[in-house]
Amino acid sequence: MNLDKILKEVIEIVKEGGEFIRQEQRNFNSTHLEFKGTNDLVSYVDRETEIMLVSGLRKLLPQAEFITEEGTVDQNEAELQWVIDPLDGTTNFVHSIPIFSVSVALLSAGVPILGVVYEINNDECFHAIKDGLAFCNGKEISVSSSVKLKDSMVASGFPPLHFNKLANYQDIITSLIRQSQGVRRLGSAAVDLAYVACGRFSCFFEPYLNSYDVAAGILIVQQAGGKVTDFQGGDNYIFGREIVAANKVHSSVLEIIQTHWR
């Protein structure tokens, strides 16, 4: 399997999906909005983008199965799986906040071997293949060189439903605010991970995420020189719904998380 060749075609497919999202936003209004659950928004834009991505990727690798956010295709296990978030940051999109992305990863036996995150509004395409380098728009990227939290920016996302853990989360944020240069909440985990990979953030952590939120970004961070774990410091970060992705401040952030997240 020629991952370099596949990557080029995936980038084209992802950018086509991004262009569709960009065009649709011009006329989007709240009448197009649906709720999958509390604080969980979806629209025809998410679904139609996913259909476009699935169609293109299926032609590229007919033997691969899919894990997708909107469930527009059967979700079957296989050696090769595409993991797709057609519009990561739907709430931002709905409110015209210009931070949202398309995220596509290819897993082999559950391990990411290709990842693309396209941040639509800045026209920034982050990508990597396993055992290769990480890039943004064709230019090599790497994680931040900061080694201390006091020199670092940290990103996270608020738990949308699990309010029983909100106090624990707030304690983590309080510690990070006191020890870092700031904490940001952008609203797209895929973009957060891409920004760790290119050095804008030194760390991103968040609980209760899904595989389609993080699979592509995880690989990009790893190939950019970063470290990714779950909250226990282990490797259950794709399907385990906990992620800490960082440069050399990883251990410092993990210690804070483990102190408060019980």
The Cα–Cα gap between 240 and 208 comes to 8
Please say whether the beta carbons of 204 and 155 come within 8 A.
Answer: yes
Residue 71 neighbours by CB distance under 10 Å: 12
Residues of the chain with confidence (pLDDT) below 50: 39
Please tell me the predicted confidence (pLDDT) of residue 70.
83
Please tell me the predicted confidence (pLDDT) of residue 160.
64
Question: In total, how many domains does the chain have?
Answer: 2
Same domain, 182 and 242: yes
Of the three residues 106, 140, 174, the one that is the final residue of a domain is 140
The Cα–Cα gap between 7 and 2 comes to 9
Domain containing residue 202:
149-260
Please tell me the predicted confidence (pLDDT) of residue 121.
96
From residue 102, alpha-carbon distances to 17, 38, 54, 118, 155 in Å are 7, 22, 13, 5, 19
Question: What is the Rg, in whole angstroms, of the alpha carbon atoms belonging to the chain?
Answer: 17
Verdict on whether the full-model pTM lies above 0.85: yes
Of the three residues 140, 170, 189, the one that is the final residue of a domain is 140
Q: Please, what sign has the CA dihedral across residues 240, 199, 128, 216?
A: positive
Please tell me the predicted confidence (pLDDT) of residue 40.
52
